[in-house]
A and B are shown apart, each in its own frame.
Chain A
Amino acid sequence: MNINYTLIGQMIFFAAFVLFCMKYVWPPLVSALAEREKKISDGLAAADRASKDLELAQKKAMDELREAKAQAAELIEQANKRSNQIVDEAKEVATQEGERLIVAAKAEIEQEKNRVKEELRAEVAVIAIAGAEKILGSSIDANKHSELLDKLAAEI
């Protein structure tokens, strides 16, 4: 229980350990703690931000999807319209073409008929002369009776 130099010695040790602790122990530990705290809070903030971003992205995706759907519907409608139009046009063209063909055919038929008539006309004289020759038993001079024959042919 004597007070002696031990007191001084302990004070020196005390100062030495406190200085050591202050220089080499406390700062790295506390800075590590603070850094980790910052890291964690940053991480939490980042997670928060990410979830918000995700929400935004989802909303954007939905919007885009909706827009795309609308666009697609519009396109389909347009396409339908166009196809109807094309069909109508085609129908019209076909009708016109048919009519044209009919007209052309009719014209051709008419032409043919006329041609045949013409031919017939030409031949009627010959046939009539031949018939008359047979009836009369002699030849008939076509030139002499041409007026008559022409009259006959015109009657056909």
Chain B
Amino acid sequence: MAGNNPTTTEYIQHHLSNLTYGQLPAGYERYDQTVLSEATWTMAHGPAEAAAMGFNAFHVDSLAWSFGLGVIFCWLFFSVAKKATTGVPGRLQNFIEMIVEFVDGTVKDMFHGRNPLVAPLALTIFIWVFLMNLMDLVPVDLVPRILELVGVGYQKIVPSTDPNITLGMALGVFILMLYYSIKIKGIGGFVKELTMHPFNHWAFIPVNLFMELVGLLAKPFSLGLRLFGNMYAGEMIFILIAVMYSAGLFFGLFGGLLQVGWAIFHILVITLQAFIFMVLTVVYLSMAHEDH
């Protein structure tokens, strides 16, 4: 934390800052008044330095948690898949199979093309996003406080509250959409879809192009920003509730009650958001596969 007794604003800002590693530009005056003679890769010390790094930075915490949770997903499912028996399944296998069947059923309902990528993609998105969202239920101060004791200044443990993470996944989906649109319809077919719909006349090509491009670009951005917005808002409410703990016994107890309530409600939100991300991905890919 910034100091021993941070103000509410400082506390909130601290919780919203990522642990950033990036390149500070030459001539930048750091927090300890040293002036950099040349561009330097270093850990950011505070939000101002992180902002000064611009695009040349990594959110170490987001990437680490996201990678770790992805590895947990892969390890869990791989360990079950490796020993999957066709006989009577154990409890864990049963649980995993339930998820797989749920995802498979959802994909089969919505995606009518033939593509071996879509179902595993949907499963990965569903479980990975769910796990990332799940970190939201960990009390907001727990992990940052523990890491602060070992000298790590900033920590955001919910990767899906970082727009880089959600937009990164959305852009991945967008690339797949473009790839399959071109692969299935051909470049000509894809261009025709962008220019000849919804008004099938050459005079309307600019109008069509504008509308279709907006529609096309809106898909990945809405996909990424929806998840980010929901998780960010949820995290913000947890932080605001946590602020109440410093306001005396009465507010502390009230805050505890609120946190339990919000956490229970949030279980629904995180599952729903993971499911929505998965479903929209499948729908967008399904649209990319549709040949007119």
Contacts and interface: CB of A to CB of B under 8 A. Distances in A.
B168 A8 contact: yes
A13 B66 contact: yes
A25 B81 contact: yes
A9 B123 CA distance: 20
B209 interface: no
Nearest to A15: B172
A18 B116 CA distance: 11
A6 interface: yes
A28 B81 contact: yes
Interface residues of A, number: 31
Interface string B148-192: 000000000000001111011101100000000000000000000
Contacts of B54: 2, 4
B238 interface: no
Contact of B164 (A6, A26, A39): A6
Contacts of A2: 20, 50-51, 53-55, 57, 164
B55 A4 contact: yes
A35 B119 CA distance: 18
Contact of A10 (B51, B66, B124): B66
A35 B101 CA distance: 14
Given A3-B164, A5-B57, A20-B74, A29 B124 contact: no
B251 interface: no
Contacts of A15: 172
Main secondary structure of the interface of B (DSSP, over half): helix
A9 B18 CA distance: 15
Given A6-B162, A7-B171, A25 B66 contact: no
A32 interface: yes
B78 interface: yes
A32 to B, nearest CB: 4
B168 A6 contact: yes
A30 B54 CA distance: 44
Interface string A20-43: 111011101110110110010000
Contact of B123 (A14, A24, A25): A25
A1 interface: yes
Contact of B82 (A3, A8, A20, A28): A28
A11 interface: yes
Which of B62, B119, B124, B172 has its CB near the most chain A CB atoms (within 10 A)? B124
Contacts of B16: 1
19 contacts: A1-B163, A2-B20, A2-B50, A2-B51, A3-B164, A4-B53, A4-B54, A4-B56, A5-B58, A6-B162, A10-B165, A14-B124, A14-B169, A17-B124, A21-B120, A22-B116, A24-B78, A25-B120, A30-B100
